[in-house]
Structure 1
Amino acid sequence: MNKAIEKYRLLPVQVRASLWFLVCSFLQKGISMITTPIFTRIMSPEDFGEFGVFNSWYGIIAIIVALGLTGGVHTQGLVKYENEGPIFTSSLQGLSLTLVAFWFAIYLLFKDFWNSLFSLSSEQMISMFILIWITAVFGFWANEQRVHYSYQSLVVVTLISSVIKPAVEIIFVMSAADKATARIIGWVICDIVMFGWVFFAHLFKGKIYFSKKFWTYALAFNIPLVPHYLSQTVLNSADRIMIQRMVGDGEAGIYNLAYSVSLIMTLFNVALTQTLNPWMYQKIKEKRITSLAPVAYTTLIIVAVVNLLLIVMAPEAVAIFAPKEYYDAIWVIPPVAMSVYFMYSYDLFAKFAFYYEKTGIIMMASIIGAILNVALNYIFIGKFGYMAAGYTTLVCFIIYAVAHYTFMRKVCRDCCEEKYPYSTSIILKITIPFLVAGFILMATYNYIYIRYGIVILTFIVAFVFRKKIIEIVKGIINIRKRN
C-alpha cells in the first residue's frame, strides 16, 4: 500500500489530475444511474418521458442561447491569454449572462408561442433558462480547474453535487403532483445553491463584465461551430422529442429509459478517449500514424465486448432499473448499445480533421447525420412505432462513422503523405461480427437459457485460449511502447 501511495505521489500532476477527473466522471454518472430505478418507480412513464423530452430540448436550446462558450473557446482562451485568465473568464461570464438574458426577453415576448412549440410549461421554460446560465457558470469554473490541474476542489464540488442533487429531486418529486416539473425545479435549486457563488467570484476576481476584445474573440470562434454542436445534439436528442410528438409521453419515457441504460457504456468511451487523446495527437504530429492501428483495434474490440455484455443483460437491467411498465425498453437497448460502438469509432477517425483544423468537414458530417436522423425518425416512427427510433439511431451513427472515416482518408491523403492509419478490412472484421452478435443476442431475449448458454460458451472458449489472448494483448502493448 505504501509503495502504491509513493508511486502515486511521484506521478506528474497532469497524470494525477487526469486520473481524478476520470474517477469523478465515473462516480458522477454512476450515482446518476443508481438513482434511475428510484425515479422510474416514483414517476410514471409519462412523467419520466416528459422529463426526458425536457432534457432533449434543453440540450438543443442551450447551444443556441449560450453558443457553447464553455467548450473549446474558453479552454483555448485560458491558454492563449494566460496572463489575463481572470479577466477573460469574467468577461465570458458577462457574455454568457447577456446572451441568456437576451433570449429570455425574446421568450417572454412570445411566451405562448414558445411554450406551444416545445410542449413545455412556463415553469419548465423559465427553469431551462436558469439552468443554461448556471451550467455555463459552473463550466467556466471547471475549465479553470482543469487547465490549472486543480483537481481536488473540482472533484469535491462535483461529487457533493452528484449526491445532493438526486436526493433533493427525489424529495421534490415525491411531494408534488406535477412530478416532471418538480424534478426540474429541484435540479435548478441545487445548481444555484452549489454553483451560484462562482459567477460573483469570477466577477470579483476579473473585475470586468464587458470586454470588446474577448467578446469578439469568443463569438468569432464559436458562432461558426454552432451548426456542428447543434447537429451533434440533434443526433442524440431528436428521437425522444419526435416520439413524444408522434406517439406520446409514455412511449417517450420507455425509450428514454432504454437510451439512458444503453449510454452507460459511453463511460468506457470517455475513459478510453481521455486516456488516448494526448498520445494520438502526438503520433499525428510526428507523422507516425501507422502506430495508431494496434491500439485503435484493441480499444474497438474492448468497446464491442462491453456493449455486447450490456445487450446480454438488457432484460435484467431493465427489471432492475424500472417496473414492468417499462419492460418493452429491452427491445430498444440493443440497437442503441451498438450505436455506442460507432460513437467511439467515429472519434478515432475524427482526430485527424480536428488536428489539422478541417472544421468544415467535421460540420458537414454532423449536419448530414442530424438531418438523416430527423428524416428517418419521421418516416419509421410513424410507420413502425417508437421502437424504430433505436434502429434509426444505429443507422445514423453507422453513416456518421463512415463519413468521418471517409473524411479521415481525405485528410491523410492531403496532409499525411498519403499514409493511412487504419486498415478498412480489419475494422470491418471487428465491426461486422459485433453487429451480427448483437442481433443474435437480441433474438434470444425470450429464451434465457439459450442466451446465457451462449455467454457461458464464450467464456469457456476465452478461458481455453487465454494464453493466446494474453500473448496478443502483450504484443499490442509492446508495439505501442516501441512506437
Structure 2
Amino acid sequence: MKNGSKALKSGVWYTIGTFVVKASSFITTPIFTRLLSVQDVGKFANYSSWLSILMIITTLDLYSALNVARFDFKDDLDSFIASNLLQGSFITVVFFGLIYLGKSTFLRVSSLTDFELLLMFLYCLFCPSLQMYQMKCRIEYKYKISVFLSVLSVLSSTFLSLVLVIILKNRYFGRYVGYMIPYIILNFGIYIFLLKKANSISIKKYWKYAFVIAFPMMWHTLAGNVLTTSDRVMIKSYCGSDAVGLYSIPYSYASMVQILWISMNSAWTPWALERIDEGDYKSVKSATILYTLFFGVIIFVFLLVSPEVLYIMGGKTYISAIGVIPPIMVSYVFNFAYAFYANVEVYYKKQNYIAICTGIAAVVNILLNALLIPRYGYTVAAYTTLVGYIVLLLMHFLCCYFLKKIHLVNNKFIFSFLIAYLGIMLLVQFLYKHVIARYFLIAIILVGSLMGIYIFRREIKQAIKTRSIVPITNRKRGII
C-alpha cells in the first residue's frame, strides 16, 4: 500500500512537471514571436527538428532500456546506468564523426552552421544523462528531484534565451544558444555525477543488454519523430525560413492537443488493458464511446478558438497560416484513435507491429511532402501530415484484423466518429469567416458541457475517487 501511494504521488507530480515543461514553450511563444522575425522563428523550428532527429539516431534511445534493467540489475543499477552512458557517448561520437566526414553536404541539406552542429553534438553527448537520472528517480519514487530538474532546465533555458535575444544584435543566435547552453551544462554535471556513483563499468555485460532492448524501439521513436518533424525540415528546404516560421506557430498550438491526449491516455490505457485481461470487452467498447466523445468535444472547442489563440501567440503576421491548424488537429484525432488498436497490439506483445506501422506512415508522409510542398507551398504539409496519420490508423486496424483481435475495438463507432471529424475540419474553416456563428457555437458547447457535468456530477466524483470510468459508463447505460 505504501508503494502504491508513492507511485500515485510520483505519477501526479511527474505529470505536473511534464505539463509545466510543455506549457512553458506554449506560454513563451507570444514573447519570442514578437522579438524574432518570421525568418528567425522558422530557422529555430528547423534547428529544433534536426536536433530531435539527431538525438534519437546518435543515442539510439538507450535510456529506454532502463525500464527493463531496473528488474534485472536492481542491485547494481548505478553501474548499468554509467555503462549505458558511456555506450551512448561512444555511439554519439561515431555518428557525429561520420557526419563531420560529410559535413559540407550535411550542412547544405540541413541549412545549419558549423557552430549549430557543434552545440548539437554536445547536447546529444550529455543529454541522455538527464533522461536516465530522471528515470532512476521515478523508479525510486524520488519525484521531487525529477520535477525540480525538469523545471530548472526549462526555466533556465527560457530565461537565458530571452536575455540573449534582447541584448544581442543577432537574435536568432541568442535564441538557439540560450536554449542549448543551460541544458548542456546541467546534463554535463549529471553525467559526471552518474559516472562517479557507479561501482564498476562492464562493457560486455551491460552494453549488449541495453542495445538489444533499445534498438528495435528506436525505429518506432525515430519514425514517429519523422512523422511530426519532416514537414518543417522539408518546408525549410523547399520554401525557406519564412514559410517554416509561418507554419511552426500554428503547428505549435495544434500540438497542444497531443499533450492533452498523452495525459488522458496515461489514465485510459492501464484501465483498458485490465479490462481486456479480464475478458470484459463490453466495458471497453462502451467506455470508448464516452471517452472519444469527450476528447472530440474538447478538440472542437480548440478548433473554434484557434483564430484568437493564434493572434495571441503570433499577432497579425501569423493569421494567414490559420489554415494549418484544422488538418493538424484532426491528425491528432486520428492519432488518438489509432491508440485503441495499438493498445491491443501491446497487450498481445506485438510491439514490432507498432514500429512497422509508424515507419510506413512516416515514409508516406515524406513522399507526399516531397511531391506536394514544391507545388502547393507550406500549407499542404498540414494535409500530408493528416494523410500520414490516416495511414497509421489503417495500418493498425489491419494489424488487429490479421491478429484476429479486431472485435476488441469498437470499430463502427470509431470510424463513424473519424469520418464526422473530417467534416468538422471543413466546417471550422468555414466558421473562421463567420465570427458570430462561431461564438454562438462555442457558447452552446460550453452550456451543454456544464449541464453534462451537473447531470453526471455524482458519477464524476465517484470516478475521480475510485480512479475508474465505470461509475460514468454505468450511469450512461442506465439512461439510454
Length-normalised TM-score, structure 2: 0.91
**C-alpha offsets along residues 237-263 of structure 1, whole Å, 9 cap, x if unaligned?**
110011111111101111111111101
What is the correspondence of 1:78-89 to structure 2 with a 5 Å cutoff? 78-89=70-81
CA distance in 2, matches of 1:194, 1:206: 19
**C-alpha offsets along residues 429-466 of structure 1, whole Å, 9 cap, x if unaligned?**
32233332232112121221121122223445556777
Partner of 1:424: 411
CA distance in 2, matches of 1:279, 1:81: 29
Shift of 1:481: 8.2
CA distance in 1, matches of 2:391, 2:452: 35
Shift of 1:470: 6.6
* Candidates 10, 20, 27, aligned match of 1:27: 20
Partner of 1:333: 325
Partner of 2:466: none
Shift of 1:357: 2.3
The worse-fitting range, judged by mean Cα deviation, of 399-408 and 35-44 is 399-408
Shift of 1:342: 1.6
* Candidates 182, 194, 207, aligned match of 1:202: 194
* Candidates 211, 231, 234, aligned match of 1:242: 234
The answer to whether the aligner puts 1:449 opposite 2:440 as a matched pair is no
Shift of 1:98: 1.2
Partner of 1:50: 43
Alpha carbons 2:109, 2:237 under 8 Å: kept: no
RMSD: 2.5
Partner of 1:383: 375
Helix, strand or coil: the match of 2:62?
coil
Alpha carbons 1:338, 1:394 under 8 Å: kept: yes
**C-alpha offsets along residues 166-189 of structure 1, whole Å, 9 cap, x if unaligned?**
111111222334433322221221
Helix, strand or coil: the match of 2:332?
helix
CA distance in 1, matches of 2:162, 2:131: 25
CA distance in 2, matches of 1:229, 1:259: 20
Partner of 2:152: 160
Helix, strand or coil: the match of 2:61?
coil
CA distance in 2, matches of 1:360, 1:164: 38
Alpha carbons 2:334, 2:418 under 8 Å: kept: no
* Candidates 61, 64, 89, aligned match of 2:57: 64
* Candidates 8, 26, 35, aligned match of 1:15: 8
Helix, strand or coil: the match of 1:14?
helix
CA distance in 1, matches of 2:3, 2:400: 38
Alpha carbons 1:251, 1:386 under 8 Å: kept: yes
CA distance in 2, matches of 1:275, 1:172: 40
CA distance in 1, matches of 2:26, 2:204: 43
CA distance in 2, matches of 1:348, 1:192: 38
Give the direction of change, closer, same or farther, for the CA distance of 1:460–1:87 in structure 2 (3 Å limit): closer
Unaligned runs of 5+ in 1: 1-8
CA distance in 2, matches of 1:256, 1:209: 43
**C-alpha offsets along residues 305-357 of structure 1, whole Å, 9 cap, x if unaligned?**
22111111111111100122222221101111111112222122111222322
Give the direction of change, closer, same or farther, for the CA distance of 1:471–1:58 in structure 2 (3 Å limit): same
**C-alpha offsets along residues 276-313 of structure 1, whole Å, 9 cap, x if unaligned?**
23323333333434432233332222221221111111
Shift of 1:110: 3.0
The worse-fitting range, judged by mean Cα deviation, of 471-480 and 383-392 is 471-480
The worse-fitting range, judged by mean Cα deviation, of 396-405 and 332-341 is 396-405
The answer to whether the aligner puts 1:274 opposite 2:266 as a matched pair is yes
CA distance in 2, matches of 1:452, 1:481: 34
Give the direction of change, closer, same or farther, for the CA distance of 1:81–1:278 in structure 2 (3 Å limit): farther
CA distance in 2, matches of 1:40, 1:110: 34
Task: Give the counterpart letter for 1:275 in structure 2.
Answer: A
Alpha carbons 2:341, 2:409 under 8 Å: kept: no
Alpha carbons 1:95, 1:209 under 8 Å: kept: no
Partner of 1:321: 313
CA distance in 2, matches of 1:367, 1:26: 28
Task: Give the counterpart letter for 1:197 in structure 2.
Answer: G
CA distance in 1, matches of 2:438, 2:29: 26
Partner of 2:218: 226
Unaligned runs of 5+ in 2: 464-468, 476-480
Alpha carbons 1:78, 1:88 under 8 Å: kept: no
The answer to whether the aligner puts 1:75 opposite 2:74 as a matched pair is no
Length-normalised TM-score, structure 1: 0.90
Shift of 1:384: 1.6
**C-alpha offsets along residues 109-147 of structure 1, whole Å, 9 cap, x if unaligned?**
332222122110011111111122232111000110111
